[in-house]
Each structure stands twice: as C-alpha cells, then as structure tokens.
Structure 1
C-alpha cells in the first residue's frame, strides 16, 4: 500500500458499503473516496470491490486486505493516543460519550464546572444509546451503565443508582395504582422495545409484567419518559431523573432495582491532565448525588 492513508478510505467503504456512506464518515466528498479507492486498486493491481447497483462488495482480494488495513488503523490510533497522552497542559478538547439521561443530570453540570475552573478545556459531549469505541478515538471518556472487558481500558465505578416504578398523576387518577404481586393486571405498560431491553418484558423492578398490557414501546429513554408523563402507562425509570418530574408519581415503592454507572477511559489517555481534571469533577458530581 504505497499511501498508508488509503487504508482508512478502504475501510470506510468496506464498512459502509457505499462511496456516499464512506464520504460522510470521513468528512470528504464522494468523488474523493472514489479516486482514492481507484488509486489503491491500481497500486495493488487488484480489484478490491465489486460495484453493484446498490453497494460495494468486497472481492477476495478486498477480504484479504481487511486484516492488514485494520492493523494499520489500530497502529495509527495508538500513535495518536500516546502522543495525546503525553500532554500535561490543562487545555485542549475532551470528548465524552454518555446517554441523554446521565448527560442531563450529571455530565452537563460537570462540564459547566470544568469550564469554570479550566477555561482552556473544551468538551465535546456525544450522547447515543450505542457505546463509543474508545480504541478508535470516538471518545476519550465514556460514562455508561455497562462495564467493558477490554484490557486496554481503565474502568472506575462512579455510582450505584436506583430505578423505581412510575406513572403520571393523570393515569393514576383514572386507573388507580398497580398493586404488588398482581403482575400489573388491569394496567397499561410503557416499555423499551424487546430488542433494546429484553429483561423489561419479564419484570419491572422485580414485578412480573405478564398480566399487563403493553401500550407503548420505544427505543429512546427520552420517549419513555415522555410517554409516562403523558399518561400512557406504568414504567420503570431511573429515580435520579423521575423524582424531579412533577407529573410522575412513584408506585409500589418496595419494588426497586439498582444499576452501576462506570467511567471508562483508554489507558493511553487516562493520565492526561485535561482528562484527569474532567474525571475528578464528574466523579464528584456523582458522589454528591448518592
């Protein structure tokens, strides 16, 4: 591969299947991607993709190139992480990945304090239900509820938070409160889609759901809250956020569950001054809440 940078163009097309998708991922125009792929194929004297009407499909040569190209990508990311990790200045950008709920209650207040104490630090907050890949520098820090297993990552538990059962005041006035041990008989339920949170379809905070009527499904935490607030049914919500909603009432208080919140950072970046400054402040934000 005469130009190492061609590896990222090749991988982007292989992963998205189209020049347009690769261009969007790389932040360049579609013609540039096409030229780089053509140049790579010419340099290697091999056809790497079959051009179909709908997508680019790897040939045997393309499949053989995937492993080496990913090794190049990993080496480049490692160089970036190690160089960035040598920075001892309280300035620069910190990219933080988290969820909407954790972001609203904990991360954004922490960012405000970081900016007040260290105005040279800029923070990019990426909120998504999908986990950011720290090895690929999609984020410097992730704050999430699933603990990763990768040995390249440093993991710290920030807090253990509680979930409870909630319904709107209007719903309870019209339908009454669900009672423990009745498996939500006679009540509507607001749920994540089964593929998103399968366990919710068996029980909410330990209360079986098989007698309840699933009236609303979503993949979004924000929509789960809005559906409950609008009176569509009973659901399980994190208490740190639901207790602050005036329209929501906690029911069956003995029914509860708990979940851990983890801070995750790549080992190469963990001791960077700006990353440490952010970690210290966000950790105190969680400690103050529990």
Structure 2
C-alpha cells in the first residue's frame, strides 16, 4: 500500500502546531481523523512517530525525522494542486486573498479598491487583517504585506514604497503649547507594540531615551489615532494617515524617524497567475500613492 500524502501532511502539522488538536484545526479535519491517519502511517512505516501522553502527543525522534524528510514532498504536492487548479479554471475566479496589517487593509488597500475594479479585475478579493505571519505555502493567503522581509526560497518579495512616520497630538493635549517647544521625554507617548515584529521606530525610541515616556503600546493604528484625538498623549502614526484625520498637529523631531519598509510577498508558484499579477500591480500603485 502506498503512503497517503495526507498522512504525511498531518505529521508535519503536528510538528508545527505542537498538539494534536491544533494540528487537526490547521488541517481542517477532526482530531480523530488525524489520530487515525497517524496510526495508519506508523503501521506502514513500522516505527513509532508520536509519543501519546496523558497531556497530549509529541513527535518522537523518529517522527521528527520523517516529518523533515516528508516536507519537500508535501511542498511539491501543493505546487501540483495549485497548478492543476489554475489550469482547470483557465483564469482564477476564486477570491484572491491578501493578508496585511490592520492599517494597510483599512487605510491603504480598502480606499484604493475602486482602482482595482477599474484595472479590469473580474474576481473578488479577501482583505485579511492579520498581524501574524501567514503561510503562503499552505495557502493561508495568496499574497501578504509585511513590515519585515521574509525568508524562504519559495517566496518572492518586493519592497513597497516606504511609509513615513511622525508624532502627532491633538490641540487639547498641547493646551496652547508650541509644537516646536515639546520635549518628548516629558510627554505621554503612545506607540506600537511588537505585534508586527521589532520595527525600526521602536529601536529609534529606545536610542532617543524615550522609553520611560511611553504610556501606551498597541498593535492598532486606529487605536493610536483615537487615543491621540482624545487628548491622551502624543501618538506615533503614519504621517499620511494622521494628516487625513485633519485634527492632529505634527510634533517636530530632534532626529528623523526611520521610515517603515513594507514588503509585498507572494509564493513563486502563484506570482505569474493573471489575477495575482493584477493584484500585485494594484498594491504597488496603492502604496505609491501614499
């Protein structure tokens, strides 16, 4: 009997997810299905692949070795399925899924959707607001926009137009003080957390000795904006985004903030598909307009 690739994918999922239930969720099947497939695989290979404990399951050393050897095969099978899907349709009519941060989805891509339709796109798009890194190989998304360049030979990454940042405050917070006279070390600062990775501006804040002035951290650009508008403090925000609010005042800085460097990421197998090419071009134009 030949080895079922599904069984190998289940084994890889257990290794990556850490638990049987998490692996089953990632694979979109019942826990009992994954358990049965692993038992079948163990019987075929004649080795124990998982250590079944009262607190769950873990891969044995044999299981880890088999999972590592099976990974290239799993990747090749994914490529075959993607190619077959595109060939059978002639052109993609299923949604193109784009994973990006909340700010990119709500304030860069969503306002530019009309330009996508005008470009001749005849397919829907799913804009997935996610801070976590998604698996393009596993088809969690078709394209992703991230603030840190990814690694991996199967991924194509293109740098997008930089996002300029600044500090902004509401008139009520300044209470008549001149922005030029503000010393950020003595103010209440509202900044990003590390939801998107270690961003360059966070290192800049530490180098400037501003860490003690930080009173709020969040991964939400919208949260930073509304907090600043309420007069809660001086917020670190994308400059174009803050300017569009029309209610915040820019605070001059003693030394320039680093720019945010976004990357457009797509799996190499999908890059040349017509719909994906249209979306790539649209994303580039949306960032160029910032």
Task: Establish whether residue 193 from structure 1 lines up as the match of residue 193 from structure 2.
Answer: yes
Aligned residues: 286
Q: The residue matched to 2:190 in structure 1 has which SS?
A: strand
- Maintained 8 Å contact 1:85/1:268: no
Q: Give the strand-richer structure, 1 or 2.
A: 1
- Kindly provide the CA deviation profile for residues 71-95 of structure 1, in whole angstroms up to 9, marking residues without a partner as x: 2221112223444565652633212
CA distance in 2, matches of 1:27, 1:211: 43
| TM-score under structure 2 length normalisation | 0.83
> Judging changes above 3 Å, is the alpha-carbon distance between structure 1 residues 153 and 3 closer, same or farther for their aligned structure 2 residues?
closer
Q: Give the helix-richer structure, 1 or 2.
A: 2
Which of 131, 140, 149 is 1:147 aligned to? 149
Corresponding residue number in structure 2 for 1:97: 99
CA distance in 1, matches of 2:92, 2:225: 37
Matches within 5 A, 1:11-50: 11-50=12-51
| 1:102 Cα offset (Å) | 1.1
CA distance in 2, matches of 1:131, 1:258: 21
Corresponding residue number in structure 2 for 1:73: 74
| 1:121 Cα offset (Å) | 0.9
- Maintained 8 Å contact 1:194/1:200: no
Task: Establish whether residue 235 from structure 1 lines up as the match of residue 235 from structure 2.
Answer: yes
> Judging changes above 3 Å, is the alpha-carbon distance between structure 1 residues 42 and 115 closer, same or farther for their aligned structure 2 residues?
farther
CA distance in 2, matches of 1:258, 1:161: 6
| TM-score under structure 1 length normalisation | 0.83
CA distance in 2, matches of 1:48, 1:230: 56
Corresponding residue number in structure 1 for 2:248: 248
Q: Where do 5+ consecutive residues of structure 2 fail to align?
A: none
Corresponding residue number in structure 2 for 1:125: 127
Q: Where do 5+ consecutive residues of structure 1 fail to align?
A: none
| 1:202 Cα offset (Å) | 4.8
> Judging changes above 3 Å, is the alpha-carbon distance between structure 1 residues 67 and 151 closer, same or farther for their aligned structure 2 residues?
closer
| 1:70 Cα offset (Å) | 1.3
